[in-house]
Structure 1
């Protein structure tokens, strides 16, 4: 495999490898920006040069000759912007400076939309934000006009995610500064095979694999209600097979949607929401694996030796870490057997019910107020 190495490039300048004490990258997509946390030797006052909003690139990998290697021997895994520069004098590591930041979606997460996209399509809106932030558009053209509730009083990133949901797309910023807005691109080839036997036999190293097969947060019936022109419009959909598997108990989610102007539309919307909320995904967390730059979002890993939990899983989050003591490791992987269709599903999988987005929150608030 070779010797683990890491390089960090800040505003086009390479930080010397010996000056990198720790370099952590948390790779996520959709509503949550990928982020970095890097600790660097500051005995020569690099903190005077480091600034907020500088571009940071991170490279990981293994080299065959530790005395003769360069950046081309490593894999580029992340590009972002610094949010903070935190120098520290003294302490266990001595004089250091910490750089923290996020990928380029962070700018749109921090900014509320102020533009009226009247009669614009989703792809036109995506192209607008790509141009605004200097990103290369990787955007699938769309034709339907977007209503005002898709862009008013929302953060810019929420606008893009709302538009993506309406088109059945996903949206994210790539490490090469492209704004992807289009269908998910699936791969059926696992990037790695993880054996439970190897994890169980290495308990002293902190390796672990935990699965969660729970019905918490799963609904087998959805009812959509909208008060329209003085009348109550209502539609429902239910998953009979799921009701049976849950002991015959009906677990219902009631919500409102302004698009439900007829009973037929209400039923259609209820069926769409049911598809989302009835997902019985098995999720898992792997900790303390060898570093692997192939661990990227949406990639498949194959788990063996776990009984009925064996199989292929999609990566939802990958925390990669480099340090002088531990080398290059994968601190944790969050995996799921059913890949979320939409951004808010993804965020809920990672962060639980507190991870709901503005879209869900507004719907719940509207229902409670009624």
Structure 2
């Protein structure tokens, strides 16, 4: 396993150059990774004996690397994995028996979440809007081109991130900020469906699961699917739907999907029926999944579980992940998992805006 290590860099605003925090000053780091609607965030504690709190500033860029090294006395950033880049939202020094400083912040989507959308972007396509917002917020652009001009009514009294998520839904895209400061606005990548890790419970030398709790219930089952697509430059709406009347007795559980393949009502109905068939099956979720620290764990990536029985073994998608590092406790990764792939950002927006 090796020795757990963490590397932290901040950007010197005067020289615009990275400066590393001394290993001896790092106490703990927590990094929370979520899906599209909410920003990834961090919380770290540093020694403040030499008043580091005077150096850190709100909105300063900060990056984290985590991992294990074979030689605890000779290692570098290159031996670890980059897990997060964002900006500092708060600097909180504490003066008591110890002098420490707490830093909290979010990734670069935090800016888009905070900022009101400007009507200056009216009469443009979704991809043009995404590209401009990326550049304005200091991000590199990875945007798939679209053709339909977006109506002005969409922009009123809303945050930039909320607008981007809805535009992505309309195109059947996903939208997120990568840890290397790239705004991705485009179709879901097939490479995201590759299994990145095995989670083994009581599998002899392969065992790496410390705790895990499953839930096999009606929670998460969808019984009403609506598929929409805005077609052509006149923005004609195409809509199809499908319901499972037997499951409606448990209460309506509706999901709206924007799919560019729904170019006729018949196709929209068929897509809705296919998705309903998938989503009306039972959903198995897992929480309190705790393993030795793995910096490769990221939301929406796929893992496979082994050793938990025929019902619960299989492939799962990561909904949330948390990397927890401290010098006293070591490095661990916690996850929430689901057996069904999250279809879009829409189902997670409730956590952020409601």
1:3 aligns with 2:3: yes
Q: CA deviation at 1:101?
A: 0.1
Match of 1:164 among 161, 168, 190: 168
* Contact 2:224 2:255 (C-alpha < 8 Å) held by counterparts: no
Q: CA deviation at 1:282?
A: 2.3
Q: CA deviation at 1:81?
A: 0.2
1:190 aligns with 2:186: no
1:24 aligns with 2:30: yes
Query: What corresponds to 2:185 in structure 1?
Result: 181
Q: CA deviation at 1:270?
A: 11
Worse-superposed segment, 154-163 or 288-297: 288-297
* Contact 2:7 2:65 (C-alpha < 8 Å) held by counterparts: yes
Match of 1:336 among 335, 338, 341: 338
Matches within 5 A, 1:267-286: 268=268, 272=272, 275=275, 278=280, 280-286=282-288
d(CA) in 1 for partners of 2:135 and 2:330? 39
Instruction: Report the secondary structure of 2:131's partner residue.
Output: helix
Instruction: Report the secondary structure of 1:43's partner residue.
Output: coil
Change (3 A) 1:300 1:216: closer
Change (3 A) 1:16 1:126: same
Q: CA deviation at 1:176?
A: 0.8
Runs of 4+ in 1 over 3 A off after TM superposition: 216-219, 221-224, 235-240, 248-256, 264-281
Listed as ranges, the gaps of 5+ residues in structure 1 are: 225-234, 257-263, 349-353, 362-370
Q: CA deviation at 1:329?
A: 1.1
Query: What corresponds to 1:103 in structure 2?
Result: 107
User: Could you say what the CA RMSD is over the residues aligned between the two structures, in angstroms?
Assistant: 3.2
Q: CA deviation at 1:273?
A: 10
Alignment TM-score, normalising by the size of structure 2? 0.82
1:62 aligns with 2:68: yes
Change (3 A) 1:159 1:308: same
Match of 2:89 among 83, 92, 104: 83
Listed as ranges, the gaps of 5+ residues in structure 2 are: 12-17, 228-238, 257-263
Change (3 A) 1:136 1:280: farther
Q: CA deviation at 1:190?
A: 1.9
Specify which structure has the higher proportion of strand: 2
1:15 aligns with 2:2: no
d(CA) in 2 for partners of 1:316 and 1:96? 32
Q: CA deviation at 1:219?
A: 4.1
Q: CA deviation at 1:238?
A: 3.4
Query: What corresponds to 2:125 in structure 1?
Result: 121
* Contact 2:28 2:327 (C-alpha < 8 Å) held by counterparts: yes
